[in-house]
Structure 1
């Protein structure tokens, strides 16, 4: 039986992850979900019996990774367990703006090569693609109804982009795996990467881990096969429709409903589903703990 815990109130402006410029807003929903997760997390930590533990909080866009990780860290610190929250978003090879451009480039180059492989790369298709690129509409499936050949381009582009997203081609998994290894080995100080949103906004900070018992990695790709050293993966689940509804409510970038953004979210969701079997703890969007079989049934019903 899971032990119950008397959790302290969560004040405003508690420490959060180390992504430069990241602004989080912790709501009652985040606190409630962290309250559900915390007893199970402590149970898993006690089962491990390790001096130092690495936890990952992963999930799709807008599911509350940063906020829930911050609240969990607060609870752990209040229990006397030094805790640090590390943002995996510091470890792509490129700053966000450049990486967004690279994603588009990878998709379009893959689509073009797909047309070449099928022997249908006609001059008029090139002209049409330039129009679609200008309008950022080349991955909109409705356009393939007008230009049937575009379906070949979109399929090949999607497959190529999937081989880029969340892989070592996009992210420095080896660097982050080394950090987790050093932490497990008891390192007192570790240099951690900081990545801003502008060119040249990149540096390293020396962080004191001498009193840290728990390292929480909050990151979409925290449960990836490419990342070594995570002891307790926590999956914050969100079905594709729930994710899109949340992004529409936030509408931070004005391109929430763009075909490209939708495709990226779908691909990320596919990767999260493929890795979900490794999660030690799964929490639904509604705040319920799920067994893996429950998770599979929920996603199949979506």
Structure 2
């Protein structure tokens, strides 16, 4: 896989203390980037930093606290990052929660839509000035094959009219995909030298299945390891989206195997009905209204 030069580049990866995010941090740190692990648990973040530094002596890695289910935490993180750094080469919106029991964020959003989509929407918007100030910056947002068959129920975003955990997970991952595409459209329209891409890992054996308060049964973990790909393979679409020099923005990267569940990264084309312009615009407007974050494309 060809990679563009990342040595010395500042990179933020959300949820980077484990799974896909951790594997991405290891790879990019090994190639000389400075990685900020944006994590909810500072203790787990410090452990991840130590593990990366132990494996790659001289790696430039640090951790900062970020709780995507709390917009105040998102604001504190973005403010603190901009006080420390004046550039941001790649933002990888990786963190996610999958299929928890019905819960709300600190701001009253349904947890999956709030953390997976709205938190990243707010984070990206608040960091946009640094992205614009960095030549050829990228935003990479992780979606999922769970977006297939999903829809955005604008009349029940908070789950108060009924909640199905997998349906709402699919909704949040569709929102990630539509956000990535709409962001790229708006960046291109404004002629800003930043590109936005989406990707997904297929089905990788990571601890995503532990999130939401329910630990994955040991037999399920064994099943995942037997039939689906490792985090080391699952991270490849993320790395491809972040580093492949020929990408123009707006692409969706996933594994090339059957059902896109596993394999090597390639450009994947979503079903025709996925990129609905009216839905993308409405999602953007609703996201700005709910988060209070308005993007500056000037």
TM over 0.5: no
* Higher normalized contact order (CA 8 Å, seq sep 6+, divided by chain length): 1
Taking structure 2 as the reference length, the TM-score comes to: 0.29
Which structure has the bigger radius of gyration? 1
